[in-house]
A = this chain, B = another copy of it.
Amino acid sequence: MTDQAFEPHDHGACISDGVAAVERICVERGLQLTKARARVLEILLSEHRAMGAYEILDVLRADGLASQPPVAYRALEFLTKNGFAHRIERLNAFIACSHLDGAHAPVFLICRVCNSVAEAQPDPARSEVDRVARSAGFAVERVVREAEGVCPNCARAA
Contact = CB atoms under 8 A, between A and B. Distances in A.
Interface of A: 1, 3, 6, 89-90, 92, 107, 109, 111-112, 118, 120, 122-123, 126-133, 135-152, 155
Given A129-B145, A131-B122, A131-B126, A1 B136 contact: yes
| Chain A interface, DSSP helix/strand/loop, else mixed | mixed
Contacts of A123: 128
Copies of this chain present: 2
A152 B136 contact: yes
A143 B141 contact: no
A119 B63 CA distance: 45
Contact of A147 (B92, B111, B138, B155): B138
Given A128-B122, A128-B128, A3 B136 contact: yes
Name which of A112, A146, A155 has the most chain B CB atoms within 10 A of its CB: A146
A147 B122 contact: no
Nearest to A152: B137
A84 to B, nearest CB: 20
A127 B89 CA distance: 19
Contacts of A3: 136, 138
